[in-house]
Amino acid sequence: MAYAISDECISCGACEAECPVNAISAGDGKYVIDAATCIECGACAGVCPVGAPSAQ
């Protein structure tokens, strides 16, 4: 399953820079992951300071 970013997101952008397939972009108040592009690598979860990205 693709990763998704919870409402815990603080919009720091660390996850966007880490994504190898550019599936993450700034959304309305938090970052969002395009499920169709996500390769489920977990790189975003590894760099998030608040643990917002998780597998769905």
Tens digit of each residue's pLDDT, the chain (56 residues): 899 999 999 999 999 999 999 999 999 999 999 999 999 999 999 999 999 999 99
| Phi, psi (rounded to 5 degrees) for 53 | -75, 135
Q: Provide the 8-state DSSP code for 2.
A: -
Query: What is the DSSP track for 3-46?
Result: EEE-TT-----HHHHH-TT--EEE-SSSEEE-TTT-----HHHH
Please give the tally of structural domains in the chain: 1
Q: How far apart (Å, rounded) are the C-alpha atoms in residues 8 and 42?
A: 17
Indicate the pTM of the whole model: 0.93
Domain that holds residue 1: 1-53
CATH code of the domain in which 26 resides: 3.30.70.20
pLDDT of residue 33: 98
